[in-house]
């Protein structure tokens, strides 16, 4: 009887209440929307229309990706994309370093002189303060929440990968829409690095979502088989 009780207690775990799961998802969604609105406004304020469009695009992609895939995942799920998360943050810092060293902000203003209304500008100090410092700090905080398996952490991972890909592609896309023909922007040398790592991170998250779908049934069958073997051994004289 003792063996049967211990086997039964070891094979059952208390389920997560649905109300707790829904409240966690609601909190994460509210926080995500508030953060995205703040980032979009800040990007437009300090970077004008070009960076505002890039940030809004990344926000939309991250929210759609999170809501349609990993939003409902339990908090104890995999951390398979964590290494790509950190790699994306580091590669973005490398991209920002190249852009800062080659005067990215002033060249962007020259490419789009009409995209910066009165009171809106992108100085070197503002660029460094907003993107490499404040932006990277927010992404690192998001990495901590993702590592611990929270619903908001999974959104933070989607946003980091979306922004890494969009920021890299924007370096090549901005000159195509500039006035006066073809141009180049600082960052073209290092932009492929965050682009590739971000895409690998998205692939890891989507792959983990597909691979985990049959695992609960497999795990349950394995536990049932183990319990049956324990019961048979305990019933033998």
Q: What is the pLDDT of residues 33-72, one digit of tens each?
A: 888 898 888 888 777 788 889 999 999 999 998 888 866 6
Residue 158, pLDDT > 90, answer: yes
Instruction: Tell me the two tokens of residue 130.
Output: 């907003």
> Has residue 16 got a pLDDT over 60?
no
H or E element: which one contains 3? helix 2-11
Structure confidence at residue 9 as a pLDDT band (50, 70, 90)? very low
More confident residue, 179 or 120: 179
Give burial (CB, 10 Å; 0-12/13-18/19+) of 152.
buried
Query: What pLDDT band is residue 182 in, cutting at 50, 70 and 90?
Result: low
Q: What is the pLDDT of residues 88-116, one digit of tens each?
A: 999 999 999 999 888 888 888 888 877 77
Percent of the chain topping pLDDT 70: 69
The predicted pLDDT at position 210 comes to: 52
Separation between Cα atoms, residue 4 and residue 140, nearest integer Å: 46
**pLDDT one-digit tens code per residue, 187-236:** 999 999 999 999 999 998 887 655 444 444 444 445 555 555 555 555 55
DSSP string of 64-94, one letter each residue: HHIIIIITT--TT---TTHHHHHHHHHHHHH
Q: What is the pLDDT of residue 106?
A: 83
pLDDT of the residue at 40: 86
Q: What is the DSSP letter of 185?
A: -
Domain boundaries, the chain: 2-235
- Residue 125 vs residue 233, higher pLDDT: 125
| pLDDT value at residue 3 | 45
Question: Taking the model in full, what pTM does it have?
Answer: 0.75
Q: What is the residue-averaged pLDDT of the chain?
A: 77
pLDDT of residue 160: 95
Residue 168 has pLDDT above 90, yes or no: yes
* pLDDT at position 200: 94
pLDDT-based confidence at residue 22 (cuts at 50, 70, 90)? low
Percent of the chain with pLDDT over 90: 30
């Amino acid at each position: 009887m003792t063996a049967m009780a211990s086997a039964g207690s070891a094979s059952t775990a208390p389920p997560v209440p649905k109300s707790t799961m829904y409240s966690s998802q609601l909190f994460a969604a509210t926080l995500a929307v508030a953060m995205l609105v703040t980032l979009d406004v800040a990007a437009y304020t300090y970077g004008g229309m070009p960076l505002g469009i890039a940030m809004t695009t990344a926000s939309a992609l991250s929210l759609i990706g999170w809501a349609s895939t990993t939003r409902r995942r339990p908090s104890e799920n995999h951390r398979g994309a964590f290494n790509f998360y950190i790699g994306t943050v580091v590669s973005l810092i490398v991209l920002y370093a190249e852009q800062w060293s080659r005067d990215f902000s002033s060249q962007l203003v020259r490419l789009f002189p009409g995209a910066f209304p009165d009171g809106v500008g992108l100085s070197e100090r503002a660029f460094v303060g907003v993107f490499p410092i404040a932006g990277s700090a927010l992404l690192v905080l998001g990495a901590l929440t993702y590592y611990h398996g929270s619903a908001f952490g999974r959104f933070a991972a989607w946003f980091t990968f979306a922004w890494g890909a969009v920021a890299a592609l924007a370096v090549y896309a901005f000159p195509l829409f500039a006035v006066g023909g073809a141009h180049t922007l600082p960052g073209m040398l290092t932009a492929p690095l965050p682009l590739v790592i971000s895409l690998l991170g998205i692939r890891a998250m989507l792959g983990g979502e597909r691979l985990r779908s049959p695992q609960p049934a497999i795990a349950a069958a394995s536990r049932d088989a183990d319990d049956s073997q324990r019961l048979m051994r305990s019933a033998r004289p």
